[in-house]
Amino acid sequence: MTRVAVLDTDKCKPKRCGKQCHRFCPMVRSHVEAIRFEDTKPLIVEALCSGCGICVKKCPFNAISIVNLPDELEKDCTHRFGPNTFKLYRLPTPSPGTVLGLLGKNGIGKTTTLKILSGEIRLNLGNYENPPSWSEIIRFFRGSTLQDYFQKMSEGKLKVVHKPQYVDKIPRVVSGKVGEILEKVNERGETLNAVAEQLELKKIWNRSLDALSGGELQRVAIAAAICREADVYLFDEPSSYLDVKQRLEAAKAIRTLKKEEKTVIVAEHDLAIIDYLSDQICIFYGEAGVYGIVSHVHGVRTGINIYLQGYIPDENVRFRKEAIIFHEKPPTVGFGGGETLLKWDRIEKTYEGFRLVAYPGEIRKGEIIGILGPNGIGKTTFVKILAGLEKTDDGREFKQLEVSYKPQYISAEYQGTVQELLVSIAKDEFTSSWYKVEILHPLGLEKFLDRNVAELSGGELQKVAIAACLSKKADLYLLDEPSAYLDVEERLNMARTIRRVVEARNATAFVVEHDVVAQDFIADRLMVFTGEPGVKGFANSPTSLRDGMNKFLKEMNVTFRRDPVTKRPRVNKEGSKLDKYQKEIGEYYYVRAASITEEE
């Protein structure tokens, strides 16, 4: 077996633990230097490590991970940053005229892979001390399409465009107005006008880049990538910050590159979008932050189903204990929850240049209402009114209920650790087995309870914010875009956690979410927001999932079908036979299985 030992240097604090990993290591006690200290941090010598795992258990900060992998896998190692760091095995195989989707959880190597394929990181085949030459790299991939790929890259004959993951950092390195920037990078003539029209960029054409929202920056970044002339286009999480309609339009724009025989690779967490966007799928599996393995290429439907089932048949590998299965039929129209918890009459809220009207509605105990609608339509405003943070035009406030609110944009201003934050909210409940089983474990918070909140990544901060919201005993939980920065598995775990906590507390919840698959997984009923973004918004009364999805998707002019194996929602290709049929019968989301034919 091959040993992979990884040290999280951010978590490791040798001065506070008495170097327990070194003191208790059986190999060290036998005078074999399997662990030694260099520059105050421990270095685990993998060749000498027995793999007993005692150091993993003894480390009070959960800073050490040790896994045993088959020896045969070692020959496929493509990159490692240094000793006791993340290890990547294999690479996806790009193909011209094909959109390849990369699917896997956070911290598993997708962004690293895109940086390798873009040339930002030169792969070292695991030999970080003496990195290989280009000729050695090309020889390593002989017989595969990657041989030709890296041959061209080494000769400077391969032009690659890379849309990065964190678009909010773009204004730090690029300044100017949107139109000027796009015209400057445009290398494909009229393509710019077509993409600008499709992504609705003309409205912000004269706006400065540093004045844009996350969604606007994302659309500008996608347009800038598409408008450049290249052989390979790489997109890292292109749906972040976008609403459903914008996600689909961005996907259509990216797919136009396929017609020109360009190589397109996309890393994405929204299942519906990566399904709609991709022709093929590569699955990334392993242990986050420790090692990542790239699967062989699969067809898009088969690949996503394999990912949800957690088992790769052609490699005989199970990477998840449980399969993820969606419900096939919508919940019954008459929700069987308890008594009415909250009832509201017509709500009006007016700002300068924007007006929100919410029609009367009610929500019952134990019920989760999903909120769907485009950006800038008043969803967050409605939630803030219910949270008591905003007043209606007639001065009404909703203060009769105990409310817990997770905002859309999360700050890391809290001075202290994750555990201190959660204890301050949950009080004595934090030490209960229920809290550990229902909140800490499913959200994966145990690993960084000792970390300072200010040091957390976007995904970690999101999970802490969700846990903080659910830690408070409340009648009404309001969660604004809880899936932002989360991967597929984390999104579905988040949905399960919210569901269980709401039911256990006999409370109720509103969840604002753009991910249709996540809404399908969590919501009992839906509130659909319509209108003109940035001008006027109308919040329709809560309705059944079927009616809500039909209303929303009709506005979007999109139809969904169900996968016969996993029951997950799949976007129909526009103009397809199934798309036309569902629009004819007015069923944009839920269709009887007997009446449809599955399309790839």
Asked if 514 and 335 touch (Cβ cutoff 8 Å), the reply is no
DSSP codes of every residue in 330-356 = PPPSS----SEEEEE--EEEEETTEEE
Residues with Cβ within 8 Å of 169's Cβ and at least 6 positions away in sequence, in order, are none
pLDDT value at residue 333 = 43
Unique residue bearing structure tokens 């590998």: 317
Asked if 493 and 438 touch (Cβ cutoff 8 Å), the reply is no
Nearest to 90 by CA among 75, 69, 107: 75
Task: Read off the DSSP letter of residue 436.
Answer: I
Q: What pLDDT band is residue 258 in, cutting at 50, 70 and 90?
A: very high
Q: What pLDDT band is residue 484 in, cutting at 50, 70 and 90?
A: confident
Given the candidates 3.40.50.300, 3.30.420.40, 2.30.29.30, 1.20.58.1610, the CATH classification of the domain at 70-159+230-323 is 3.40.50.300
Residues with Cβ within 8 Å of 72's Cβ and at least 6 positions away in sequence, in order, are none
* Per-residue pLDDT at 338 exceeds 80: no
Asked if 191 and 140 touch (Cβ cutoff 8 Å), the reply is no
Provide the token pair at 555.
């506005």
Q: How many Å apart are CA 576 and CA 555, to the nearest integer? A: 18
Average pLDDT score over the chain: 90
* Mean pLDDT, residues 575-593 taken together: 83
Asked if 337 and 597 touch (Cβ cutoff 8 Å), the reply is no
pLDDT value at residue 459 = 86
* Per-residue pLDDT at 379 exceeds 50: yes
Q: At how many degrees (to 10) do helices 191-198 and 214-226 cross?
A: 150
Asked if 114 and 162 touch (Cβ cutoff 8 Å), the reply is yes
Write a three-state SS string for 551-582: HHHHHHCCCEEECCCCCCEEECCCCCHHHHHH
Nearest to 358 by CA among 568, 525, 541, 88: 541
pLDDT value at residue 165 = 87
Asked, colleague to colleague, whether 2-69 and 340-544 share their fold, the answer is no
pLDDT in tens, 451-478: 888 888 888 899 999 999 999 999 999 9
Task: Read off the DSSP letter of residue 128.
Answer: S
Residue 168 dihedral angles phi and psi, to the nearest 5°: -65, -15
pLDDT in tens, 530-542: 999 889 999 999 9
Unique residue bearing structure tokens 């009364």: 541
User: Residue 438 CB: number of other CB atoms within 10 A?
Assistant: 17
Q: What is the CATH number of domain 2-69?
A: 3.30.70.20
Instruction: Tell me how far the alpha carbon of residue 83 is from its chain's centroid.
Output: 29
Asked if 66 and 4 touch (Cβ cutoff 8 Å), the reply is yes
Q: How many Å apart are CA 432 and CA 434, to the nearest integer? A: 5
pLDDT value at residue 596 = 46
pLDDT value at residue 595 = 46
Listed by start position, the domains of the chain span 2-69, 70-159+230-323, 167-229, 340-544, 557-600
Provide the token pair at 335.
């929700």
User: Residue 507 CB: number of other CB atoms within 10 A?
Assistant: 22
pLDDT in tens, 272-328: 899 999 999 999 999 999 999 999 999 999 999 999 999 999 999 999 888 887 766
DSSP codes of every residue in 382-395 = HHHHHTTSS--TT-
pLDDT in tens, 48-102: 999 999 999 999 988 999 998 888 889 999 999 999 999 999 999 999 999 999 9
Q: What is the CATH number of domain 340-544?
A: 3.40.50.300
Q: At how many degrees (to 10) do helices 191-198 and 178-185 cross?
A: 140
* Mean pLDDT, residues 160-181 taken together: 91
Asked if 92 and 282 touch (Cβ cutoff 8 Å), the reply is yes
Residues with Cβ within 8 Å of 270's Cβ and at least 6 positions away in sequence, in order, are 239, 247, 515, 517
Q: How many Å apart are CA 437 and CA 426, to the nearest integer? A: 14
More confident residue, 567 or 143: 143
